[in-house]
Amino acid sequence: MVGVSDRSKPYRTYRQRKRHANGGALDWDSVRGAGSGPPPGGRSGGPGPGGRRPRRRRSWLRRWTRRVILTTLTVAGGWLAVAMVSFHLGVREANERVDPAVRGALSASDGPALTSATNFLIVGTDAGSVRAGDDPDDPGRSDTLILVRSDPASRRFAMLSIPRDLRVEIPGHGTDKVNAAYAYGGAPLVVDTVRSVTGLPIHHYIEVNFDGFKELVDALGGITINNPYSIISTPFDGHEWRFTKGEITLDGRRALAYARVRGNQLPSPGGLPESDLSRGERQQRVVRGIISGVLSPRTLLHPHSVPRAAAAPLNTQASAHHLAALGLAQAWATSDQRLQCRLGGELAMLGGISYVLGTEDNGATIRMFMGRQPPLRPNLADNPYGPGCFTGEQTRQRDEVVPRRGLAPRGS
């Protein structure tokens, strides 16, 4: 400001310097929001036609994209929530069906299933109509015994098959085949027997009757497995079952047949005979397919029926959280940390009954299963019933020892 002195006046006059362009004219665009209109003549200092500056507008494409993303996330989240609620309700019903005494036979977990190593015992029973002509009140036997260990922290997922003919000490009942434990004392005695045989804690129990097994696979829309060699089964259940080599998709009926095949009319890998142990390996493939199917898009995208139907054939004390953690652990495991293990021994006839007599190598196999020593393949050339562990890569190498002729797909 510049002061102008005037001795005839008792005050001083100040004049403001010109600081704005256009000779100090106001920018009407900047004050238009205050309710002022443009100066007379429609002139202003802003650019654009007639001196007006165009209004800033958000891109309609950006707004539309944002709304689509938010809507999609909302719908997907709601859909997934419905699926989880449906699965939770199905598992809760399965919890009510399991023998209450099995909870007392199980060991406490070391921590959350998503972060801690956890052992699941999966039992397939042959009670009921699967064995034609049997007494419907017969409790049956455990036709499948698979111990699954998920260890997310180490990205390991291991499966251990226990041959049904393995001769073991059943607590309170003496020496017998391991699958007799279910007939003697149901699920609690199976847990006690497997813990006694392996020396490992059992944290969760999952039981599937083979009648419900078909329903479970069908509820998942079928399962996909990698079959290492072609199979034409010896006839059972009135059929000659055929399975091609490679990736195959099975419905419930064919998945059950695949898991129960005991004899193959085609040459097996390396000329080795079919046995209860090779049958156990097929059962492991089916179990892995089911675990993957529980978390498949088809299961999650049909929340009103599939998740609950998938849990309907199960008897288990495990929660929906535990089962979901099992599926995630399998998906998270690295290929070299996915183990397929089996107990075994020497085949023997005692009193006219065929048994598998366990050897000291079973102890080493359990340590491999636990990740305490590197996996070693069984020497199948010397003993087709030998115990050991395979990684995924080792399994492929073993299954391609000899070439095999393929088969055209044919349903049975």
pLDDT at 198 over 70: yes
SS3 state of residue 173: coil
Sequence-distant (6+) residues with CB within 8 A of 409 are: 242, 244, 248
Listed residue (212, 205, 167) closest to 189, CA to CA: 205
Percent of the chain at pLDDT exceeding 70: 72
Helices (H), 47-125: 60-97, 101-105
Please report where in the chains the tokens 């299961």 appear, as a residue: 299
Q: What is the DSSP letter of 110?
A: S
Q: Is the pLDDT of residue 362 over 70?
A: yes
Q: In this predicted structure, which of 242-246, 254-258, 292-296 has the lowest mean pLDDT?
A: 292-296
**CATH top-level class for 73-399?**
alpha beta
Contacts of 47 (CB under 8 A, 6+ apart): 53
What is the spatial distance between Cα 229 and Cα 270, in angstroms, rounded to a whole number?
A: 11
Provide the CA 304 distance to its chain's centre, in angstroms. Answer: 20
Residue 404: the pLDDT is 30
Give the C-alpha separation, 241 to 289, whole Å. Answer: 19
Spans of all domains in the chain: 73-399
Among positive and negative, which fits the CA dihedral 253, 274, 341, 365?
Answer: positive
Q: What average pLDDT does the structure give for the chain?
A: 78
pLDDT of residue 174: 93
How do residues 159-187 score in pLDDT, each as one tens digit?
999 998 999 999 999 999 998 999 999 99
pLDDT digits (tens, 9 = 90+) for 89-120: 888 888 998 889 999 999 998 888 888 899 99
Q: Residue 128 pLDDT > 90, yes or no?
A: no
* Confidence band, pLDDT 50/70/90 cuts, at residue 331: confident
Q: Closest by alpha carbon to 369, among 116, 146, 205, 208?
A: 146
Q: Which of 59-63, 281-285, 349-353, 366-370 has the highest mean pLDDT?
A: 366-370
Ranked by mean pLDDT, the top range of 192-201, 252-261, 291-300, 374-383 is 192-201
pLDDT of 283 strictly over 50: yes
